[in-house]
Structure 1
Amino acid sequence: MLLSAAMGMVLISNTAAGQTAAAAPSEASTAPLSNESAALSSIPLPAEPAWGYFVDTYKNNNNDNLSVTSNPAIGVLSGFLDLWEPGATWDTGSKLNEELLNYNIQYVKDLSATRTPEQEERAYYDDRRNQSYGATEGLGPYQDAYRRLSGTYTTITSIPEDAVTKKYDDGNTFGNRAGDINSELGKMVDLIGALRGGYASTNPAKTFYSYMRPYRWSLIEDPGAASIIVPTLEPAKSSTPQTDGGFPSGHTNASYLAALSLAYSVPERYQELLTRASEMGNSRIVAGMHSPFDVMGGRVMATALAAAALNDPENAQLKQEAYDQAHEILLDQPANAEDRFTNYEQNKADYIQRLTYGFPQVNSAAEPMPVPKGAEVLLETRQPYLSAEQRREVLATTGIPSGYPVLDDPEGWGRLNLFAAADGYGALVSDTTITMNGSLGGFHAADRWRNDISGSGSLVKEGSGSLTLAGRNTYSGGTEILGGTLQGESATAFGSGEVVNTGGSVVESVYGKMTIGGDFTQGASGTLELNVSGADDVLEITGAVDLNGTLKVKFSNQFAPAAGTFTLITHAGQRSGQFASVDIEGLPSEYQAHVLYQGNQIALAITPKTNSGNPGSGGSTPTDPPTTPTTPPVTVPAKPTAPPVPQEPVKVNPFLSNIVSQQAVLQAVSSSIAATMNMNTSFSDTASHWGSSAIAAAVKLRIVDGYKDGSFRPNAPVTRAEFTAMTARAFGLAPGTASAAFQDTRSSWAAGYIGVLANKGVITGYPDGSFKPNAPISRAEMVAILSRIMNLGALSTGTAASFTDVSSNYWAANAIQQAASANLVQGVSAAAFAPQNQATRAEAAALMIRALESDSSIKELIAGLK
């Protein structure tokens, strides 16, 4: 069933729209955990290491303290001593596990033979630019605003032609600035400085471990071998190997520290910033400068250092001020920069792979997950509605298994998986109560847990906020809703136990069947909301039902059942009670419905309306527009004043492909104008928007519509199904039958539009047989679809557009170049097109209008609509 737009949380990673978040916790709550308070936690502290708990002793990391028992940075990495015994000099150490250490270097060699030009280019920039600058890419659409307002910049905007031979001179060749503490975002800059401060250096650990960089190992093992370093970084090699150890990676350490600082201030970009940090670490391997172990060590050290600095009472006020600046200034800026991290699944896969780099588990794989003292601060702003103890539980249930080399430190820093932790609990090991105060905004108001939650505990939801469960959950203790909203986005979102809705809303938002693995009970103050977008949508209850309160049925995504009996709920056990009230939305105006309680199912009886009114206990009410707004009923004027359709023989427009004729497009445009001449196209959020004129025209042409609340939401993303429908409507292609080629579109509201364009070869799916109708469409995909229905070459002005982020071998390069030359699309800046950025509703509407106006006859018809 369709995700309820009202309940779904719009994160900055998915849209340019900002979100007001609540203040960070108070100073008192961010002080380091004491031994006394930790003893009360269900996740106890691990035994104190010889060097002390990292958050308490992190300031002992200095160049004068090179002992594994007293320097916490050396100590947290001491698992490396199982593999490597440092020598008296940089080149006299001994391999204790030759197989793993040989693989560690071979990994770099193999990558040097297969890396792409794009990877080499990224490795160059990640090496030469300051890590505080590089990490800002994780801010996605806000990176440019952050750099401008914080004074963060780099002069390294291209790779010099002589980069392979020119020795670097920090004073003359390039310049970086990590920001200005006196700028508008000075506290955010200052917080990065606090995390990357004097106690964060990797030099003591490098000196202690004395492990060579991979390019030196490569030459020692094979003196005649070609260099494995990226050619443009050859001049960056140090000539003093005795002071240039490889383990741990300093660049990686600094990258994670900068990213974790920004993630504390802007938790809406938490996972994207982590992914960017992992990418910057991986660039060190691509560059040939560091090995996987070096990079893993840099991450572990940075994680502990970030937690230590954020726990330090000296930084309590600073981190609050940084958070406030991010939410009062940064997130109020235009969000128009490129976002390379919009693909959640790819981000997750990359981050997880870089945690272990494929090393085998060489120690016990069954050790319990320890949670370091103070580590919970790393989730403080990302999950502010959880207590410190609960955040420790999240870290404990999302950590990686034991046994991986280097990562089994005594406190557990190496096993933390912060990407997974941001997705909520991995297991409910005991009864867990979540209280969310929606009035505080941000994640207090709405959050989404995407992990597959296991365990024998129960989940109790309190407070006015909204929590969405999106994983394939198996927790067996049951679910209770005392307040607010609990939304399920998977077939087993509520686990395998009973569900009791005492006083909140249970929202079912699944395509197809959703199962409650036990009894379902709803009290008088409860609401069950079913979002129905296909004939197969049903709520299956494996136990008994005890009903009261409200039932809401929302037909959405342009789906509405025909007259007859439509099953909503099935239950295996007995039923007692019934819903006190029923609210039905989205039913066509000619139908009426009421609830039927039949044996082991609850259904709607849908009948044509009669003059006698609506029978029974339900009714048909207008619906809010679905994710893709539908065109409302309109009154056609008796005498349309739109220009008549030219009555001439049908011919193919040279600007169109053979998919559609000029006459068909003219007919569609003229009919739409005639039917909507008096339509109000004034929206509450488009008056000052750059696309207001095109939006008004697109609405009058019935290509797209606004929302019932009077908004258009021009910056909201467009899905693949939505853009397909817009394309078909714009070019006068009537919906056909659902395409048999895609297994996931049969019940989609856009099945007919997808079918007609698929049959004409305008759209294609994925190798797994899916179309992914609800996935956001990228700017590149949008242009590629248009290129198949139009002859863009005939529209080209002959001026070639040049985008630095669209290489000649990019799959959509030709379409993007032609569309830009034809003035149908523009870049997000003078040099960047941002092909992977999600397209917005405004961009899609503007593209449709520009495409139609490329024909002079159609342009004349549209001229009066703007």
Structure 2
Amino acid sequence: MEFQRNKLAYAVFLACAISLAGCGGGDSGSPAVPDEPVTPTHPDTPTEPADPDFVDSAPVNDAVTAYVDASYSNTQNNVCHVTVDSNAGIRLADGFLDIWTPATLLADAGRGARAAGTDPVTGEACPAVPAGTWDGNANSGGTVVNQAVHDANIRFSVQATNNRSLEQEETASIDQPVHGAYLMTEGMGHMAQAWRDASGITGSYAFNPDRSVTATGTMSGSVNSQLGKVVVLIDDGLDQPDNDEAKRFYKYARPYLWDNNVKMAPGVNYTGPSVGSSDFVSGHTVGAWRRAASMAYAMPERFQEFYARAMIHGQSRVWGGAHSPLASIGGRMSGLAIAAANLYSSENPDLKQELRNPDITAQAKREAREQALTVMQARAGTTTWREFYDYLHAGQNTDPAGQDYDRFADHGKNKAAFLEGMNYGMTDQIIHPTDLAAVVPKGAEVLIETRYPYLTSEQRRVVLKTTAFPSGYPVMTDEEGWGRLNMFAAGDGYGQFNGLVTIDMDSSLGTFATYDIWRNDISGEGKLVFNGDGTLKLGGRNAYSGGTLINGGALEAASASALGSGSVQVNGGTLIVSAGAPLEVGNNYTQSAGAHLEVVIGADDQVGVQVKNTAKIEGGTLHVKFAPGYQPIAGTTLRIISAGRMEGDFSKVTVDNWNVLSVFTPTGISVDLAEPK
């Protein structure tokens, strides 16, 4: 909407600004008050909507035994933990039984007869387990239950291995022999080598003439290094790193044994049956995900990049012919669950002390996080957390030979690849209802504990719930909820606002409590209330309808629809508009006397805030900045607010380096530039 300029007021102001005398303009930037027009008042201004009467939650499915409560049972070669009911690792992936029934419902592949025993935790007697007879081949036992999904699983393996790119082949070859701890360091981008040096990783790998890969040296890190506490956190010290018992239970042949058209990558080069290590679940994928989760806990500044590398690792097992898609999906689920069980064990109220991981206490977690931040910030040469965060994300991904190369510098590309990897190969295989509500596993919230220090434990669970992947797909639509956890999306904030969402950013907590970015497209009927003294940047195409209330801190709208479709109230703190386009307010906009509006203008005809109904300014300040590259000239009118109806004015208006006049009309407020200061 075009503003109608008050020509008389503007002429008076311009003369005063030029003479810099007597008319109230001066160098202070305070607005001159024209004789006319008189600001109208409207006693019938609509009241703001009431707060929703509930707060969202993400309850645990108590009908399922939580992995974090029974992770001790995911142990190797114990006769008491060889079935779906007795082994948490086997049970975690039991959605595979919808596709395949193994020859025996025991974790017996590759093992001889074992005598009866006693469960050291419960004291219950456990029966003897006969020797396994499965020989690793596709025809040595077991029954396909869902032929369509089984066929799609193997068919995708054939297609992936025959159509892989050279880059995918190289990744598959590298990921076979190279230690997962080394591979996940790529998540550090251009600081990957600095992380390796600080953690005592001295290994390397090389391509051989036949395109196979040889790995040498220490790749898992050293507890005596600068990042020794982090190495302990990543290593976790448990006897379940690759969910070995699940492999021995499900006894599903590797894809090249189902179809000889599966083309092995040179660096993988499996040839025969693998009796003790079947296709489902992928052990390499388990290891990658549990390490990525631990590294993301210690260095959440690169949260999404670590998980992106873990997803690639799982995909590489398919590209190379070693595993099927469902095996990698099961590996992802297992890796997340194992990491969460370790990170949560010290605070799990339902876990006996003797069953908790003695190496990963609450103090050990805290010290590992502090160590990672202190050591890497020193190596980056930055003095503040924000400088360090920006440095970590200043890389490029076009020149691998560059010192600032970061394979994961493109957030959009990472997101797209991650979404593809969540259910790749199974896109058309819907075997469960597609409208099942997301369930968050017990303890899973610990995975984003350091990523969101300013959220409560329950709010972290809601983040995981509202960013979960859709239901319907095989294996990953599990009752406990591990399969649908979308860790990349969880790193971009809430996915939905349901009910009253109150965010308190207390900067004394440091790191992300001082500054954060949420990039998800937030839907829902909820209302956002923003408190505290930190800065939160919303960059998604948001559609939440309950409105936005700012009481403190700085809430930055970095997209035109950042604040959804409801009303916006700025009672305190600052609203920053940096969308590069008009911020769309779907109902009313209200700003109180103690509040601030900061608008970044990037073009002569750009409107800062476009209000559908009434904009009511009860005072407060307006600060106008200019986007890089935009250089307005004297006489330019900056259109700050356009509304269906305009009430009130700002108490103070400043524009960087300009003397100005604010001009009120019945449908908006603009700022006229007189001359540079």
Q: Which TM class, normalised by the smaller chain length? A: 0.7 to 0.9
Report deviation, 1:575.
2.8
Partner of 2:396: none
Report deviation, 1:41.
7.9
Letter in 2 for 1:101: H
Partner of 1:344: 411
Report deviation, 1:187.
0.6
Q: Deviations over 1:293-348 (max 9, x none)?
A: 01000001111111111001142222111101111112321475631110101100
Partner of 1:191: 233
User: Aligned runs of 1:653-692 on 2, under 5 Å?
Assistant: none
Are 1:557 and 2:557 counterparts? no
Partner of 1:45: 60
- SS of equivalent residue, structure 1 residue 544: strand
Report deviation, 1:199.
2.8
Q: Deviations over 1:58-110 (max 9, x none)?
A: 11002321110121111110111001111142431111111111111111111
In the alignment, which of 61, 71, 84 is matched to residue 68 of structure 1? 84
User: Aligned runs of 1:136-285 on 2, under 5 Å?
Assistant: 136-156=185-205, 158-161=206-209, 174-194=216-236, 197-219=238-260, 225=261, 228-234=263-269, 236-237=270-271, 239=272, 241-285=274-318
User: Aligned runs of 1:62-461 on 2, under 5 Å?
Assistant: 62-63=75-76, 64=78, 65-88=81-104, 89=134, 90=136, 91-156=140-205, 158-161=206-209, 174-194=216-236, 197-219=238-260, 225=261, 228-234=263-269, 236-237=270-271, 239=272, 241-313=274-346, 314=358, 315=360, 316-334=362-380, 336=403, 338-359=405-426, 360=428, 361-461=430-530
| TM-score between the two structures when normalised by the length of structure 1 | 0.61
- SS of equivalent residue, structure 2 residue 219: strand
Partner of 1:20: none
User: Aligned runs of 1:594-605 on 2, under 5 Å?
Assistant: 594-605=661-672
Letter in 1 for 2:85: T
Q: Which structure 1 residue ranges, 5 or more long, are not aligned?
A: 1-39, 220-224, 610-619, 622-866
| TM-score between the two structures when normalised by the length of structure 2 | 0.78
Partner of 1:855: none
Report deviation, 1:161.
2.6
Letter in 2 for 1:61: N
Report deviation, 1:116.
2.4
Instruction: Give, in whole Å, the separation in 2 of the partners of 1:150 and 1:232.
Output: 26
Partner of 2:572: 503
Report deviation, 1:481.
0.8
Report deviation, 1:439.
3.7
Partner of 1:469: 538
Q: Deviations over 1:97-132 (max 9, x none)?
A: 111111111111112222223322221111111111
Q: Deviations over 1:513-551 (max 9, x none)?
A: 221111111111100111111123211111212211001
Report deviation, 1:563.
4.3
Letter in 1 for 2:616: D
- SS of equivalent residue, structure 2 residue 555: strand
Partner of 2:19: none
CA contact 1:133–1:153 (8 Å) conserved in 2: no
Report deviation, 1:568.
1.8
CA contact 2:253–2:273 (8 Å) conserved in 1: no
Instruction: Give, in whole Å, the separation in 2 of the partners of 1:233 and 1:546.
Output: 66
CA contact 1:464–1:485 (8 Å) conserved in 2: yes
Instruction: Give, in whole Å, the separation in 1 of the partners of 2:627 and 2:207.
Output: 51
CA contact 2:304–2:488 (8 Å) conserved in 1: yes
Report deviation, 1:142.
1.8
Q: Deviations over 1:832-856 (max 9, x none)?
A: xxxxxxxxxxxxxxxxxxxxxxxxx
Q: Measured at CA, do residues 207 and 605 of structure 1 come closer, stay the same or move farther in structure 2, by a change above 3 Å? A: same
Instruction: Give, in whole Å, the separation in 2 of the partners of 1:404 and 1:536.
Output: 48
Q: Measured at CA, do residues 163 and 495 of structure 1 come closer, stay the same or move farther in structure 2, by a change above 3 Å? A: closer
Partner of 1:627: none
In the alignment, which of 589, 593, 601 is matched to residue 524 of structure 1? 593
User: Aligned runs of 1:557-576 on 2, under 5 Å?
Assistant: 557-564=628-635, 566-576=637-647
CA contact 2:605–2:639 (8 Å) conserved in 1: no
Q: Measured at CA, do residues 163 and 451 of structure 1 come closer, stay the same or move farther in structure 2, by a change above 3 Å? A: closer
- SS of equivalent residue, structure 1 residue 128: coil
- SS of equivalent residue, structure 1 residue 377: helix
Report deviation, 1:586.
4.5
Report deviation, 1:398.
0.6
Letter in 2 for 1:213: R
Are 1:482 and 2:551 counterparts? yes
Report deviation, 1:566.
1.8
Q: Deviations over 1:393-418 (max 9, x none)?
A: 11111101111100111111101111
Query: More helix per residue: 1 or 2?
Result: 1
Instruction: Give, in whole Å, the separation in 2 of the partners of 1:571 and 1:557.
Output: 23
CA contact 2:570–2:591 (8 Å) conserved in 1: yes
Report deviation, 1:189.
0.5
Are 1:583 and 2:631 counterparts? no
Larger displacement relative to structure 2 (250-259 or 315-324) = 315-324
CA contact 2:453–2:509 (8 Å) conserved in 1: no
Aligned length: 549
Q: Which structure 2 residue ranges, 5 or more long, are not aligned?
A: 1-54, 105-133, 347-357, 381-391, 393-402
Larger displacement relative to structure 2 (79-88 or 570-579) = 570-579
Task: Report sequence identity in percent.
Answer: 39
- SS of equivalent residue, structure 2 residue 329: helix
Report deviation, 1:174.
4.1
Letter in 2 for 1:331: Q
Q: Deviations over 1:722-769 (max 9, x none)?
A: xxxxxxxxxxxxxxxxxxxxxxxxxxxxxxxxxxxxxxxxxxxxxxxx
Report deviation, 1:176.
4.1
Instruction: Give, in whole Å, the separation in 2 of the partners of 1:150 and 1:476.
Output: 47
Letter in 2 for 1:502: N
Report deviation, 1:438.
2.2
Letter in 1 for 2:330: G
Q: Deviations over 1:646-666 (max 9, x none)?
A: xxxxxxxxxxxxxxxxxxxxx
